[in-house]
Amino acid sequence: MAKRLFDIVCAGLGLLLLSPLLLVVAAWIKLDSAGPVMFRQERVGRFGKPFRIHKFRTMRVDAPALGPQITVGADARITRSGQWLRATKIDELPQLWDVLRGAMSLVGPRPEVPRYVAMYPAELREVVLSVRPGITDPASLSFRDESELLARAEDPEREYVEVVMPMKLRLAADYVRNASLAGDVRLILATLGALKA
């Protein structure tokens, strides 16, 4: 209950205070490339329930037809505005709306697409999907350079499925088992600190 109240207050204040920035970013995306401002994608939420996640669009509208669901290195599908939005993580800010509507939390395991969730080991799947997915979590901090890491792999998709995803799942499960409001605040502060680095 305290976590949900914390999420509502922080997400509401965040959307209110950041609204000028959100409007400027939306205009930039619209001027920079053809297509919608928002990117919506089906992800798997709490208890395995699917939901539509919201992000600022950082790739060409035909990106899904041109490559994998994971982003690897200097992906040619990323727009000019998208490069900066991804580097600063500002593309994630619309997820504050997903937090406000109850589909996500500020802190929790990052939500995956159904294709990858289907590969979760049963015991970890149950733990990780027992809570609302979050905008940030320990795995997000540990794998800030995930795109560059995958770019160095001979087979990026296989590297993600066999190496990166299992490590992220273990971090997510550890978070769920030891979650606390104080821990969430520390993770939020650590995330904000990493953005300035």
* HEC secondary structure over the chain: CHHHHHHHHHHHHHHHHHHHHHHHHHHHHHHHCCCCCEEEEEEECHHHCEEEEEEECCECCCHHHHCCCCCCCCCCCECHHHHHHHHHCHHHCCHHHHHHCCCCEEECCCCCCHHHHCCCCHHHHHHHCCCCCEEECHHHHHCCCHHHHHHCCCCHHHHHHHHHHHHHHHHHHHHHHCCCHHHHHHHHHHHHHHHHC
Q: State the total domains in the chain.
A: 1
Q: Mutual orientation of helices 2-32 and 80-88 as an angle, nearest 10°?
A: 160
d(CA 93, CA 24): 13
Question: Are 103 and 51 contacting, i.e. CB atoms less than 8 angstroms apart?
Answer: yes
Q: Which of 132, 108, 110 is nearest to 48 (CA)?
A: 132
| pLDDT at res. 144 | 86
Q: What is the mean pLDDT of residues 102-108?
A: 98
Residue 100 has pLDDT above 80, yes or no: yes
Question: Are 41 and 103 contacting, i.e. CB atoms less than 8 angstroms apart?
Answer: no
Q: What is the mean pLDDT of residues 89-115?
A: 97
Predicted model pTM? 0.90
Q: What is the mean pLDDT of residues 2-29?
A: 97
The whole-chain average pLDDT of the chain stands at 92
Residue 105 has pLDDT above 60, yes or no: yes
Q: Which domain holds residue 184?
A: 2-196
| pLDDT at res. 136 | 96
Q: What is the mean pLDDT of residues 128-137?
A: 97
Count of other CB atoms within 10 angstroms of residue 12: 13
| pLDDT at res. 150 | 85
